[in-house]
Amino acid sequence: MFFRVRHQKMVHVYLLVLVILGILVVLGAMIAYHALLREQHFQIQVAVAKLASGDSNYRNFDSSASQYHQNSVMILEEQKPLVIYNRVPKTGSTSFVNVAYDLHSYNAFRVLHVNVTGNSHLLSIYDQFRFIDNTTRWMRPAFYHGHFAYIDFERYGYKKPYYVQLLRKPLDRLVSYYYFLRYGDDYRPHLVRKKHMDSSTTFDECVERGGSDCQANLLWLQIPFLCGQSADCWIPGSEWALRQAKRNVLEKYTLVGVTEKMGEYLQMLELVIPGGMFRNASEHFKHSSKSHLRKTAKKYPVSRKTVQKFHESTVWQMENELYAFVAREFAFAYGKQFPNISSGVSGTMKKHLKISAIPPPSFRYEKIYPKPSNQHKKKKNTARV
């Protein structure tokens, strides 16, 4: 009798465990199903937006490019890019990012802002790992942007993303930032900036008095942003940091451009980022009212004396060397891609040149082995007839 009661209790325990496991399986299936529905809903919204959009900013888009990319929602997994833009402040980054925000639904990708605590440009080693692990596991294609220094994905064993960047003439960037802190900009005109009470002091006067926020060392920003998270990257005047920044431009970044050539930069992004993420970006930038956001409300011209003083500083010379290096590299790449534009196509004709009119490849495939079978040759000959 005792063993029978004990056996019945064990059966009840097993049944209870099976019921709990069944409930957990059902809940897991429901969660997975709802996640799939959300993803499908997003893709349907994107497809409907593409078909139904009557936005005037997109009427000038090239039809052949649209046909070529009409299946961009269903692109292969390896064609779903992870793009990271570690934006340098006051380099036209707001205008660039807003192009991405405007295009995300049309081109089926997500845009995410990375807000680093305390406006710090550096992350701890563990936070770097968490950021890399998050971005590589979450849904793609995706465009991440934020004010942080370059993070090396390959150092942690991950495939490198598509890093993009824009640089600006170093003194122009600092002067713009100086007046931005005092007068704000047209993006959020009613926001009072932290230096608002000091708005009567011009940049020239600040330099003359030796002010704290117009020092030459403050130019040291574009080099460390491209150099990375190492300590030496953030030492003003570090020759190693300059060399590392240049190396990263050539080896780690997909494309680095300059603010003054934003339209051309977007043209290049249309070609080098797969999956059609930046499709029609240059046309949108050209026709959109958001093309030149965040213009500083008030700026005074800088005197020759101030310019000369900065030009004598080691930090300016190094920052300017990086800027000139990037400008040359970008002009070279753009000239190879668009030789007709670079060689000086005149007036009316230049306005009508589009991405779809790029020249054919300058290479071809020959001596292909093993040779096509006879069956393939017959099909080819039949097709020609």
Catalytic, 376? Answer: no
Catalytic, 147? Answer: yes
What is the C-alpha separation between 181 and 90, in angstroms, rounded?
Answer: 11
What residues contact 310, with CB distance under 8 A and at least 6 apart?
171, 216, 219, 316
Catalytic residue among 12, 145, 287, 352: 145
- Calculate ∠ Cα 174-213-124, nearest 5°: 80
What are the CA-CA distances from residue 128 to residues 116, 117, 296 (Å)?
Answer: 11, 13, 33
CA-closest candidate to residue 149, choices 239, 88, 92: 88
Cis peptide before 301 (omega within 30 of 0): no
Determine contact, residues 215/177, Cβ cutoff 8 Å: no
Determine contact, residues 317/311, Cβ cutoff 8 Å: yes
Structure tokens at 193: 């900036």
Catalytic residue among 104, 121, 147, 284: 147
Determine contact, residues 293/283, Cβ cutoff 8 Å: no
- How many Å from the N-terminal Cα to the C-terminal Cα in the chain? 91
3-state secondary structure of 84: strand
- Beta-carbon-side half-sphere exposure of residue 338 (alpha carbons within 13 Å): 18
Determine contact, residues 275/72, Cβ cutoff 8 Å: yes
What is the C-alpha separation between 14 and 20, in angstroms, rounded?
Answer: 10
Cis peptide before 141 (omega within 30 of 0): yes
* DSSP collapsed to 3 states, 206-241: HHHHCCCCCCHHHHCCHHHHHHCCCHHHHCCCCHHH
Q: Which residues are tagged catalytic?
A: 145, 147
